[in-house]
Amino acid sequence: MKSTVLKIFFLAGTLPMVTSQVKAYDLPTVNLGMTSFLDGGLPAGPGWYGQLYFQDYDANKLSDQQGNRLPLPKTDLHYQVEVAQLSYLSQLSVGKNASFGMNVLLPFVSKMNVNDGLNQAALKSSQGFSDILVGPFIQFDPVMGANGPKFVQRVEFQVNLPTGHYDQSKDINPSNHAVSFNPYWAATYWLTPKWTASVRIHYLYNFKNNKPTYAFGDVDDLQAGQAIHANFATDYAITEKLRLGINGYWLQQITDTKANGTDLKGRRERVWALGPGMMYSFSQQDHVVANAYFEQGAKNRPEGNRLQVRYIHHF
Protein backbone atom coordinates (compact mmCIF):
# COMPACT_ATOMS: atom_id res chain seq x y z
CA MET A 1 0.00 0.00 0.00
CA LYS A 2 2.76 2.45 0.89
CA SER A 3 4.62 1.95 -2.41
CA THR A 4 1.39 2.48 -4.38
CA VAL A 5 0.73 5.77 -2.63
CA LEU A 6 4.28 6.97 -3.31
CA LYS A 7 3.98 6.05 -7.00
CA ILE A 8 0.74 7.99 -7.42
CA PHE A 9 2.25 11.00 -5.64
CA PHE A 10 5.32 10.88 -7.91
CA LEU A 11 3.23 10.86 -11.10
CA ALA A 12 1.02 13.68 -9.89
CA GLY A 13 4.08 15.70 -8.93
CA THR A 14 5.68 15.29 -12.36
CA LEU A 15 2.69 16.43 -14.41
CA PRO A 16 3.50 20.18 -14.36
CA MET A 17 7.14 19.44 -15.26
CA VAL A 18 6.13 17.06 -18.06
CA THR A 19 3.68 19.54 -19.55
CA SER A 20 6.36 22.23 -19.53
CA GLN A 21 8.84 19.93 -21.25
CA VAL A 22 6.36 18.90 -23.95
CA LYS A 23 5.88 22.58 -24.75
CA ALA A 24 9.55 22.62 -25.71
CA TYR A 25 8.34 21.09 -29.00
CA ASP A 26 7.90 24.59 -30.39
CA LEU A 27 8.99 24.31 -34.04
CA PRO A 28 6.34 24.03 -36.75
CA THR A 29 6.06 20.97 -38.96
CA VAL A 30 8.80 21.13 -41.61
CA ASN A 31 10.04 18.99 -44.49
CA LEU A 32 11.80 16.12 -42.78
CA GLY A 33 12.23 13.37 -45.37
CA MET A 34 9.40 14.37 -47.67
CA THR A 35 11.87 14.80 -50.54
CA SER A 36 14.90 12.69 -51.38
CA PHE A 37 16.19 11.36 -54.73
CA LEU A 38 16.84 13.62 -57.75
CA ASP A 39 15.64 16.57 -55.69
CA GLY A 40 17.50 19.27 -57.60
CA GLY A 41 15.24 19.26 -60.67
CA LEU A 42 11.75 18.43 -61.93
CA PRO A 43 11.64 15.15 -63.90
CA ALA A 44 9.88 16.30 -67.08
CA GLY A 45 10.67 19.97 -67.64
CA PRO A 46 8.19 22.88 -67.76
CA GLY A 47 4.48 22.47 -67.05
CA TRP A 48 2.11 21.48 -64.26
CA TYR A 49 2.90 18.80 -61.67
CA GLY A 50 0.67 17.15 -59.11
CA GLN A 51 2.15 15.33 -56.13
CA LEU A 52 0.51 13.31 -53.38
CA TYR A 53 2.33 12.40 -50.16
CA PHE A 54 1.43 9.91 -47.47
CA GLN A 55 3.44 9.89 -44.26
CA ASP A 56 3.13 7.59 -41.26
CA TYR A 57 5.07 8.53 -38.12
CA ASP A 58 5.30 6.35 -35.02
CA ALA A 59 7.29 7.32 -31.91
CA ASN A 60 7.46 5.75 -28.47
CA LYS A 61 9.87 8.30 -27.04
CA LEU A 62 9.28 11.96 -26.26
CA SER A 63 12.67 13.46 -25.42
CA ASP A 64 13.71 16.17 -23.00
CA GLN A 65 16.65 18.58 -23.42
CA GLN A 66 19.16 15.85 -22.51
CA GLY A 67 17.64 13.38 -24.95
CA ASN A 68 16.08 11.30 -22.17
CA ARG A 69 12.54 9.99 -22.23
CA LEU A 70 9.97 12.19 -20.48
CA PRO A 71 8.93 10.77 -17.08
CA LEU A 72 5.50 9.49 -18.15
CA PRO A 73 4.10 5.94 -17.97
CA LYS A 74 3.91 6.01 -21.79
CA THR A 75 5.26 8.39 -24.42
CA ASP A 76 3.59 7.08 -27.57
CA LEU A 77 2.82 9.32 -30.55
CA HIS A 78 1.37 8.09 -33.84
CA TYR A 79 0.11 10.25 -36.69
CA GLN A 80 -0.62 10.08 -40.39
CA VAL A 81 -0.43 13.00 -42.79
CA GLU A 82 -1.53 13.37 -46.40
CA VAL A 83 -0.18 16.27 -48.47
CA ALA A 84 -1.42 17.54 -51.83
CA GLN A 85 1.09 19.60 -53.83
CA LEU A 86 0.57 21.55 -57.04
CA SER A 87 3.64 22.84 -58.87
CA TYR A 88 4.11 24.89 -62.01
CA LEU A 89 7.37 25.41 -63.84
CA SER A 90 6.97 28.18 -66.40
CA GLN A 91 9.03 29.07 -69.44
CA LEU A 92 9.55 32.56 -68.04
CA SER A 93 13.31 33.00 -67.97
CA VAL A 94 15.23 34.22 -64.95
CA GLY A 95 18.57 35.33 -66.34
CA LYS A 96 20.06 33.12 -69.04
CA ASN A 97 19.91 29.68 -67.44
CA ALA A 98 16.89 29.48 -65.13
CA SER A 99 13.08 29.56 -65.08
CA PHE A 100 10.43 30.75 -62.63
CA GLY A 101 8.00 28.41 -60.89
CA MET A 102 5.53 28.11 -58.02
CA ASN A 103 4.67 25.45 -55.40
CA VAL A 104 1.54 25.22 -53.23
CA LEU A 105 1.12 22.48 -50.60
CA LEU A 106 -1.86 21.62 -48.40
CA PRO A 107 -1.25 19.04 -45.60
CA PHE A 108 -4.01 17.20 -43.75
CA VAL A 109 -3.47 15.35 -40.46
CA SER A 110 -5.88 12.41 -40.78
CA LYS A 111 -4.79 10.57 -37.64
CA MET A 112 -3.25 11.75 -34.38
CA ASN A 113 -2.98 9.39 -31.43
CA VAL A 114 -1.13 10.27 -28.22
CA ASN A 115 -0.83 7.93 -25.25
CA ASP A 116 0.76 9.34 -22.09
CA GLY A 117 -0.40 6.45 -19.90
CA LEU A 118 -2.41 8.94 -17.83
CA ASN A 119 -5.57 9.05 -19.96
CA GLN A 120 -4.11 12.13 -21.70
CA ALA A 121 -3.88 14.07 -18.43
CA ALA A 122 -0.52 15.52 -19.59
CA LEU A 123 -0.83 15.45 -23.38
CA LYS A 124 -3.72 16.52 -25.60
CA SER A 125 -3.78 16.54 -29.41
CA SER A 126 -5.97 17.54 -32.34
CA GLN A 127 -6.12 16.78 -36.05
CA GLY A 128 -7.31 18.44 -39.26
CA PHE A 129 -5.85 20.66 -41.97
CA SER A 130 -2.35 21.97 -41.40
CA ASP A 131 -0.85 25.23 -42.67
CA ILE A 132 -0.74 26.03 -46.39
CA LEU A 133 2.78 26.33 -47.82
CA VAL A 134 3.42 28.66 -50.76
CA GLY A 135 6.78 28.89 -52.50
CA PRO A 136 7.93 30.77 -55.59
CA PHE A 137 11.10 29.12 -56.92
CA ILE A 138 13.87 29.47 -59.47
CA GLN A 139 14.76 26.28 -61.31
CA PHE A 140 18.19 26.35 -62.95
CA ASP A 141 18.84 24.51 -66.19
CA PRO A 142 20.86 21.30 -65.80
CA VAL A 143 24.58 21.37 -66.46
CA MET A 144 25.17 18.72 -69.08
CA GLY A 145 28.12 16.36 -69.50
CA ALA A 146 29.20 14.00 -72.24
CA ASN A 147 26.87 11.24 -70.97
CA GLY A 148 23.93 13.27 -69.73
CA PRO A 149 23.21 15.71 -66.88
CA LYS A 150 25.91 16.41 -64.31
CA PHE A 151 24.33 18.94 -61.95
CA VAL A 152 20.97 20.65 -61.40
CA GLN A 153 19.73 22.99 -58.66
CA ARG A 154 16.76 25.01 -57.44
CA VAL A 155 16.13 27.80 -54.94
CA GLU A 156 12.71 28.26 -53.33
CA PHE A 157 11.37 31.00 -51.05
CA GLN A 158 8.76 29.05 -49.11
CA VAL A 159 6.31 30.69 -46.70
CA ASN A 160 4.10 28.77 -44.25
CA LEU A 161 0.75 30.49 -43.66
CA PRO A 162 -1.21 29.84 -40.40
CA THR A 163 -4.39 28.58 -42.07
CA GLY A 164 -4.63 25.19 -40.33
CA HIS A 165 -6.53 23.90 -37.31
CA TYR A 166 -5.27 25.28 -34.00
CA ASP A 167 -6.65 24.84 -30.48
CA GLN A 168 -5.10 26.69 -27.53
CA SER A 169 -6.24 23.91 -25.20
CA LYS A 170 -4.21 21.23 -27.06
CA ASP A 171 -0.51 20.37 -26.73
CA ILE A 172 -0.09 19.06 -30.30
CA ASN A 173 -1.79 20.88 -33.19
CA PRO A 174 -1.69 20.57 -37.01
CA SER A 175 -1.06 24.33 -37.22
CA ASN A 176 1.64 26.37 -35.49
CA HIS A 177 -0.60 29.48 -35.60
CA ALA A 178 2.29 31.63 -36.86
CA VAL A 179 3.83 32.63 -40.17
CA SER A 180 7.13 30.92 -40.97
CA PHE A 181 9.72 31.67 -43.66
CA ASN A 182 11.39 28.45 -44.78
CA PRO A 183 13.54 28.98 -47.92
CA TYR A 184 15.75 26.21 -49.28
CA TRP A 185 18.41 25.27 -51.80
CA ALA A 186 18.15 21.84 -53.47
CA ALA A 187 20.71 20.20 -55.74
CA THR A 188 21.47 16.89 -57.44
CA TYR A 189 24.90 15.80 -58.66
CA TRP A 190 25.51 12.84 -60.99
CA LEU A 191 28.62 11.05 -59.75
CA THR A 192 28.14 8.67 -62.71
CA PRO A 193 25.28 8.42 -65.24
CA LYS A 194 23.55 5.96 -62.85
CA TRP A 195 24.64 7.21 -59.43
CA THR A 196 23.39 10.50 -57.95
CA ALA A 197 23.61 12.42 -54.69
CA SER A 198 21.01 15.01 -53.64
CA VAL A 199 20.64 17.53 -50.84
CA ARG A 200 18.04 20.08 -49.75
CA ILE A 201 19.03 22.64 -47.09
CA HIS A 202 16.36 24.78 -45.38
CA TYR A 203 16.59 27.79 -43.12
CA LEU A 204 13.57 28.33 -40.84
CA TYR A 205 12.51 31.65 -39.35
CA ASN A 206 9.32 31.79 -37.25
CA PHE A 207 7.22 34.84 -36.55
CA LYS A 208 5.14 35.31 -33.39
CA ASN A 209 2.21 33.21 -32.27
CA ASN A 210 -0.11 35.64 -30.50
CA LYS A 211 -2.25 32.87 -28.99
CA PRO A 212 0.12 30.41 -27.26
CA THR A 213 -1.31 27.20 -25.87
CA TYR A 214 -2.58 26.97 -22.29
CA ALA A 215 0.65 25.47 -20.91
CA PHE A 216 2.56 28.76 -21.25
CA GLY A 217 0.25 30.44 -18.78
CA ASP A 218 -0.03 34.23 -18.90
CA VAL A 219 2.04 34.74 -22.06
CA ASP A 220 0.90 37.17 -24.75
CA ASP A 221 3.11 35.88 -27.56
CA LEU A 222 5.47 33.04 -28.35
CA GLN A 223 8.12 33.01 -31.07
CA ALA A 224 9.69 29.65 -31.90
CA GLY A 225 13.44 29.71 -32.51
CA GLN A 226 15.24 29.65 -35.82
CA ALA A 227 16.45 26.33 -37.22
CA ILE A 228 18.39 24.68 -40.02
CA HIS A 229 17.20 21.38 -41.45
CA ALA A 230 18.26 19.28 -44.42
CA ASN A 231 17.29 16.22 -46.46
CA PHE A 232 20.00 14.18 -48.15
CA ALA A 233 20.01 11.07 -50.33
CA THR A 234 22.06 8.99 -52.72
CA ASP A 235 20.66 6.48 -55.20
CA TYR A 236 21.76 4.09 -57.93
CA ALA A 237 19.78 3.20 -61.07
CA ILE A 238 19.37 -0.59 -60.96
CA THR A 239 17.33 -0.48 -64.17
CA GLU A 240 15.98 2.32 -66.34
CA LYS A 241 12.90 2.46 -64.11
CA LEU A 242 14.12 1.45 -60.64
CA ARG A 243 16.46 3.35 -58.32
CA LEU A 244 17.53 2.16 -54.87
CA GLY A 245 19.35 4.23 -52.27
CA ILE A 246 19.87 5.63 -48.80
CA ASN A 247 18.10 8.74 -47.50
CA GLY A 248 18.20 10.83 -44.36
CA TYR A 249 17.42 14.13 -42.69
CA TRP A 250 18.80 16.38 -39.94
CA LEU A 251 17.30 19.23 -37.90
CA GLN A 252 18.94 21.62 -35.44
CA GLN A 253 17.30 24.59 -33.75
CA ILE A 254 19.90 27.38 -33.59
CA THR A 255 18.23 30.11 -31.48
CA ASP A 256 16.05 30.02 -28.38
CA THR A 257 12.28 30.24 -28.39
CA LYS A 258 11.03 33.55 -26.98
CA ALA A 259 8.02 34.19 -24.73
CA ASN A 260 7.03 37.87 -24.48
CA GLY A 261 10.44 38.62 -26.04
CA THR A 262 12.42 36.69 -23.39
CA ASP A 263 14.59 33.70 -24.30
CA LEU A 264 13.42 30.33 -22.95
CA LYS A 265 16.53 28.29 -22.31
CA GLY A 266 16.83 24.53 -22.73
CA ARG A 267 14.19 24.13 -25.45
CA ARG A 268 16.24 23.81 -28.65
CA GLU A 269 15.19 20.85 -30.81
CA ARG A 270 17.45 18.36 -32.58
CA VAL A 271 17.07 15.07 -34.46
CA TRP A 272 18.60 13.10 -37.34
CA ALA A 273 17.54 10.02 -39.27
CA LEU A 274 18.71 7.49 -41.87
CA GLY A 275 17.00 4.73 -43.84
CA PRO A 276 16.52 2.98 -47.19
CA GLY A 277 14.54 4.26 -50.15
CA MET A 278 13.45 3.50 -53.70
CA MET A 279 12.12 5.31 -56.76
CA TYR A 280 10.15 3.67 -59.54
CA SER A 281 9.46 5.55 -62.79
CA PHE A 282 6.49 4.26 -64.79
CA SER A 283 7.38 6.85 -67.44
CA GLN A 284 8.93 10.30 -67.58
CA GLN A 285 5.54 11.64 -66.46
CA ASP A 286 4.81 9.32 -63.49
CA HIS A 287 7.00 8.34 -60.56
CA VAL A 288 6.58 6.87 -57.09
CA VAL A 289 9.13 7.35 -54.29
CA ALA A 290 9.15 5.44 -50.98
CA ASN A 291 11.46 6.23 -48.05
CA ALA A 292 11.86 4.88 -44.53
CA TYR A 293 13.60 6.82 -41.75
CA PHE A 294 14.79 5.71 -38.32
CA GLU A 295 15.40 8.67 -36.01
CA GLN A 296 18.28 9.09 -33.58
CA GLY A 297 19.64 11.71 -31.19
CA ALA A 298 16.38 13.55 -30.56
CA LYS A 299 16.30 16.37 -28.03
CA ASN A 300 13.17 18.30 -27.07
CA ARG A 301 11.07 16.41 -29.62
CA PRO A 302 9.74 12.92 -30.42
CA GLU A 303 12.06 10.15 -31.65
CA GLY A 304 10.56 7.44 -33.85
CA ASN A 305 10.23 5.90 -37.31
CA ARG A 306 8.85 7.57 -40.41
CA LEU A 307 7.48 6.02 -43.62
CA GLN A 308 7.06 8.32 -46.59
CA VAL A 309 5.41 7.52 -49.96
CA ARG A 310 5.16 10.13 -52.73
CA TYR A 311 3.52 10.00 -56.17
CA ILE A 312 4.58 12.53 -58.84
CA HIS A 313 2.64 13.22 -62.05
CA HIS A 314 3.48 15.64 -64.86
CA PHE A 315 0.36 16.80 -66.69
pTM for the model: 0.89
**Is pLDDT above 90 for 216?**
no
Q: At the top level of CATH, which class does the domain 2-314 belong to?
A: mainly beta
pLDDT digits (tens, 9 = 90+) for 21-59: 344 478 998 999 999 999 999 999 999 999 999 999 999
pLDDT digits (tens, 9 = 90+) for 104-153: 999 999 998 888 888 766 677 788 999 999 999 999 999 999 989 999 99
E strand segments, the chain? 47-62, 76-93, 98-115, 128-129, 132-140, 143-145, 148-156, 159-161, 180-181, 184-190, 195-206, 222-223, 227-237, 242-253, 257-259, 262-264, 270-281, 286-299, 302-314
At 219 the pLDDT is 87
